Structure 1
Amino acid sequence: MEPHRGHILSSLGKPGELDPAARAFLVALTGGALASDALWREALTHGSLGEPRDYQRLEFLGDRVLGLSIADWLFADAAASEGKLSQRLNALVSRETCAEVARALDVGAHIRLGKQARDDGGVHSDNILGDVMEALIGALFVERGFDAARDFVRRAWAVPMASGAGQRKHPKAALQEWAAGNRRKPPVYTLVTREGPDHAAKFTVAVSVNGVGESTARGSSKQEAETAAASEFMKTFA
């Protein structure tokens, strides 16, 4: 959903204060009143605004809280092996899944971006959406503790968890095993192009298996492009 132009301008807010629309969104999202405007404003602020505090520190914290919350959730499945648990954990905390959750919750409409970053499509970037999603988890942990953050993660990640994200083998791992099983050398990934500014970069990656062929794909990160290229290769040649 594309935010209205008036909302984009107002969402910057006064120094130290949250835009009223962002505050109402966060109260509804987290299920409680906010104790600190400054904390949540920081969680929504991208570095392109040039403000003293942006979301990076809270994103660092939220990444760890998310990982522990998902690991705790997965551990309840006593039948799953450590390998399967790790596979699912990696998929559920990936940048792509974090961005997917952020889009489902309409977080992008409230991210505070500089004009150039917004004009360049930063509000749609998997990297930015994923980072802000983790920063919001970090802010919730700081303000209300781990139990509240874990409960929020269980609500927000209900769809990816129910969909079985990570139960299938990761495309890069599947390609690696396919190559070995067919007595081929390991796949080789090559960065073809990197376009756009840092906050809205697009990567094109090629993957090849000697004597078989090559596939290319694009993504908003090198890892995402490699994963897509591996998936495309398996569809074409495996």
Structure 2
Amino acid sequence: MSSSDIDFSVLEERIGYVFKDEEVLRTALRHKSALEGRDGSCNDKLEWLGDAVVGFFVADYLFHHYDKPRSWLSLAKSKLVSEECLAYLARKIELARFIELGKGEERSGGREKDSILASSLEALAGAVFVDSSSYEETRKVLELIFCEAGDISSLNLSVNYKGLLQRWCLQYYNCLPRYETLSQGNQDFYRVEVKIGENSIAWGEGKNKKRAEQEAARKALEVLSSDNQFPNKGQ
């Protein structure tokens, strides 16, 4: 479907903003695959801008609403700007139906890919910022999108904790976390320990190994986000 065939009024109502220049919105929701070798604009640049805008919005919101140490704020921000979280928000506003894709990407299920949904949401934020020339207007839109269900902290759901812990470890320790199965009481129960270097950080339990690892990663992130809880590098 061409973007010229899409009625964006429903989306504008959902985000509480009506575009002065609808072409900016069309560009924001035009995936690069839609060009299919033709000249034209896709959402790459608006996604780049939107990434910064969303990051600032989340940092500003957390700074003013949570009296927490920097480490906690950094972890919370990582969760809220993660691909998983942004894709979840995009689904909440049914953004997929408004995205223009190429035929090949459409056939491969691109409309449901987290990467495309997340990048499209960022591009949408960038488009609002460009069209309004106002961070305050953009903030209102993002607050509506992020806080529709209530407190922004409720968005900690559907987070890939193993992925977050991996990025955290690479940033602060230049290594990857290791997961070791401590016990398997029966087919429906696993206990897994996560280590950074030789340091045992946390353990988790689950009905399968994957869930146990996710729980261990979640607990490890809680430990690491607490002040004075970082193991020494190189140990």
TM category, shorter: 0.5 to 0.7
What is the RMSD computed on CA atoms of the aligned residues? 3.5
1:30 aligns with 2:15: yes
Go from structure 1 to structure 2 and tell me whether the alpha carbon gap of 1:28 and 1:172 turns closer, same or farther (over 3 Å shift).
Answer: closer
For residue 49 of structure 1, report the CA deviation from its aligned partner: 1.6
- 1:157 aligns to what SS in structure 2? helix
- Using the TM superposition, give the Cα deviation of residue 19 of structure 1 relative to its aligned residue in structure 2, in angstroms: 3.1
Structure 1 segments of 4+ aligned residues over 3 angstroms from their partners: 168-177, 185-188, 208-213, 229-232
Are the counterparts in 2 of residues 62 and 138 from structure 1 also a CA contact under 8 Å?
A: yes
Is 1:72 aligned to 2:60, yes or no? yes
Q: 1:45 aligns with which of 25, 30, 41?
A: 30
The superposition leaves residues 30-80 of structure 1 with CA deviations (integer Å, 9 ceiling, x where unpaired) of 334322122111101011122521111000000100011111111113521
- Counterpart CA distance in 2 for 1:86 and 1:75 is 10
TM-score by length of structure 1 reads: 0.65
TM-score, normalisation: structure 2: 0.66
Unaligned runs of 5+ in 2: 169-174, 185-191, 193-208, 220-235
- Say whether residues 1:62 and 2:77 are aligned partners: no
CA contact (8 A) 1:187 1:209 kept: no
Whether 1:163 aligns to 2:154 is yes
Matched with 2:213 is 233
Shift of 1:151: 1.1
Preserved CA contact (<8 Å) 2:31 2:42: yes
- Residues 86-101 of structure 1 aligned to structure 2 (within 5 Å): 86-101=74-89
Quickly say closer, same or farther: Cα 1:135–1:175, change in 2 above 3 A: closer
- 1:137 deviates by 0.3
* Unaligned residue ranges in structure 1 (runs of 5+): 1-8, 178-184, 189-207, 216-228
Contact 2:6 2:98 in 1 (8 A): no
